[in-house]
Amino acid sequence: MLRRHTLAACTATVAVGALALAGLTGTASADPAPHAPTPAADAARLSPGLLKAMQRDLGLTAAEARDRIGAESRAAAVTAGLRYSLGERFAGARVSGDAATLTVATTDAADAARIAQAGARAQVVDHSLAELDTAKAALDRVALRTAPKGIPAWYVDVRANRVVVQAAKASAADAFLAKAGVSPDLVTVARSTEQPRTFTDLRGGDAYYMNGSGRCSIGFPVKRGTQGGFVSAGHCGTPGVSTSGYNQQAQGSFQDSTFPGRDYSWVATNTNWTPRPLVNGYGNGDVTVTGSTEAVEGSSVCRSGSTTGWHCGTVQQRNSSVTYQEGTVSGVTRTNVCAEPGDSGGSFISGSQAQGVTSGGTGNCSQGGVTYFQPLNPALQAYGLTLVTSGTPTDPPDPTDPPTNPGGTWAAGTNYAAGAVVTYGSASYRCLQGHLAQPGWTPPNVPALWQAL
């Protein structure tokens, strides 16, 4: 793991890692996405800084950037509905081009009409997403016991309908597959000389310091009950490590941390720090966070970090695994956004939707590279946290506002499994698909998630 104890500039090196400076220790219809934000409302709240970064890194005009965010938001809504209605036949989704054209894959050609009716292109493939995820999970189990040598990363590539294993040598990939019992028929081996490393260096993207020395970046402000804090990368610190803010004033301490395996942590802060639903725009206007709906593969995504500020790119593959010197991290998302030491833990956001925290990558922001982020929602679920968001009167209420729940057992921030039964007001509802409840996703409002009994 890369460790740095001062704030002196480092010489950029080409390698992969977590970003820290020092201190690294069925038959249903294709329902729309559950209360995804409307594209128009979402685009209207985009910060000038985010738009500027998208223009620079994606070659778009401001209008094109707004249009793309709107199209990607619609794609996320359509994908959520089709994933539910196609069930085990669902084989992934992706968007392409500045128009964010949506392609949804299925293992059954009979689904093509349904997909087209929902406004997406259909692709018929051999393997379902569940089949590919199962194969990747077998590789993950092997790697979590012993990190594979010469295997920097592996992931499910929905475009290719394969599990991709990056390897320095074919023999290393063959041994990895054999040990995990994964059929080569599901896998493409891609030669790679990457050497993953971790990058380490209450607004997302702001700097913070661990034990007064190493620096990382805040992911997203959160709350657990009345306790405020933030999520960041797990490799930035272990439970008990104290933190100070960008101004070197006492801030809080790590409450929990997971790394390797996953790469997330959460820090509880003292009452001098107030969590805000913002991501640092580094001089170009802060970005307001309104939710954490996952963007579809191919969507634009931007990163804020305390070393390199704003940089943008696209979501390449979700459910990736990467091997750092310290061990394997699974379930991360692979992007072509650049990052450097000190950006670790910083915010990844698509439009106004929080995506995750910076984990590690290859390259730097002079030469470009690959960066992985730890998705946010699993971290929220793992630690029982609620993302701090802000909305307009037409949006879900800010979770810091007084509760308006008319009574019942349903509660935002709860991870509900399919089949769970809750009450809301005087009615009962059954959960149709597993999800992390968000403010405003009340059972009467999201029939894609809840069925009235």
Please identify which of the residues 344, 352, 359, 390 carries the catalytic annotation: 344
141-178 burial, b at 16+ Cβ within 10 Å, e below that, comes to ebbeeebbebbbbbbbbbbebbbbbbbbeeebbebbbe
344 is catalytic: yes
Write phi, then psi, for 77 (nearest 5 degrees).
-65, -45
Site of tokens 């020395």: 213
Which helix (H) or strand (E) element contains residue 95? strand 90-96
By the 8 A CB rule, do 391 and 412 touch? no
By the 8 A CB rule, do 65 and 44 touch? no
Please identify which of the residues 235, 257, 350, 390 carries the catalytic annotation: 235
By the 8 A CB rule, do 72 and 299 touch? yes
Any residues with CB less than 8 A from the CB of 44 and at least 6 apart, and which? none
Please identify which of the residues 57, 140, 201, 263 carries the catalytic annotation: 263
By the 8 A CB rule, do 374 and 357 touch? yes
Any residues with CB less than 8 A from the CB of 241 and at least 6 apart, and which? 23, 25, 210, 211, 253, 254
Query: 378: cis peptide before it, omega within 30°?
Result: no
263 is catalytic: yes
Tokens, residue 196 = 């993953």
Task: Check residue 108 and report its DSSP letter.
Answer: -
Task: Check residue 196 and report its DSSP letter.
Answer: -
- Could you tell me how many residues make up the chain? 453
The residues carrying an active-site annotation are 235, 263, 344
